[in-house]
Every structure is written in structure tokens, then in C-alpha cells.
Amino acid sequence: MYIEINEKQLKSRSGALPIAEEDEIARKMAMLIEGELGESGPARAAAKFGFSRQRYFQLRSLFLEEGAIALLSKKRGPKSPYRRKPEVVCQIVRHRFLDPEASTEVIAQKMRQCGFPISKRTVDRVIAAFGLQKKTLSVSPASPGTLSRHLSHPAKKQARKGRSPQR
């Protein structure tokens, strides 16, 4: 039985089975079939499908251990917030309520003294997430008549009657 395998389809003399671009399990499975059963070998199969030789063998090991579902890529990066653990967040909120006038730099310093390695920026983010920023006083908009009284230099004066404007 002859089967031609590429990243778009599995093809034989009797028909073809398409592989969707977004179906990464099928693509990786086709690469493993090509590498294990084909004549070109693992390195060429990996290159043909856009993977390195090392990644080919990683995927092969995953497939042999856990099956086809292991070929699905997992979420990258940290799985939990590294600095903002629930205990740290609670302590930051606690410090904000104990001393509402304390700056975020002071709160960060207190947290570091308690053994939590944290930056001012992280404290800023926690406080912003909970809406605990310091309140600012709102100033009512001034009316146009009151605005001219508070200017340091007077507005343009009216021309006097009977005189020509000064240059």
C-alpha cells in the first residue's frame, strides 16, 4: 500500500484525506507516521513539517507515553502569578486599608521587610485591580465670569471713549 504524506493531506492511489491547517494533532501525527514508516527518516520528516529533529523526538516520546492527545500543544508560560500570590495580594490590600495615605513605594518596602520579594509596580497593579487608589478632590469647573478675576494678568481692556487706541 502506497501513502503519500504531507502537511496538507494523506494521499494514496485510491483517495486522499485532507488535514486542516489548525488541526495540530493530525499534522504532528502525519509527521510521526512519515518519520517512522516512510523512507526519508525522522530528520527529513521533521523538516518537511516545519519542526526540528529534536522536537520530532520530543513529540515521538510524548506520543508513545500518552497517545495522540499528548501532541496537542499546552499553554506556555507560568501557570500561576509568580509574585502576586493570594497571600501577597491580601497583605497589600491590608496595608492599604491600615494606612490609606501610604504610597505604593512604602507598601512595597513593608512587604519586602516581611519577606515578600515584590516591586512597587506590582503593588501599583494590585491596588489598581482593586480600585484602591488614593482619591483626588474634584474641582468644579469655573464660570467664564469668575475665570477672568483669577487671572494674574487682566484681560484686554476696553478702549476709552474719545481717544485713539495706543500703539
Contact indicator for 75, 83 with CB cutoff of 8 Å: no
- Number of Cβ within a 10 Å radius of residue 94: 11
Average pLDDT, the chain: 83
Q: What's the pLDDT at 40?
A: 87
Give dist(CA 47, CA 141) in Å, integer. Answer: 67
Q: What's the pLDDT at 76?
A: 87
Q: Which segments in the chain show pLDDT lower than 50?
A: none
**Strands 3-5 and 9-12: what pairing?**
antiparallel
Task: List the domain boundaries for the chain.
Answer: 3-71, 86-130
DSSP one-letter string for the chain: --EEE-SSEEEETTEEEE--TT-HHHHHHHHHHHHHHSSS-HHHHHHHTT--HHHHHHHHHHHHHH-GGGGSPPPPS-SS-SS--HHHHHHHHHHHHH-TT--HHHHHHHHHHTT----HHHHHHHHHHHT-PPP----PPPPHHHHHHT-SSPPPPPPPTTSPPP-
pTM: 0.50
Q: What's the pLDDT at 72?
A: 93
> Which residue matches cell numbers 507598601?
107
Give dist(CA 6, CA 60) in Å, integer. Answer: 17
Q: What's the pLDDT at 91?
A: 93
Q: What's the pLDDT at 12?
A: 86
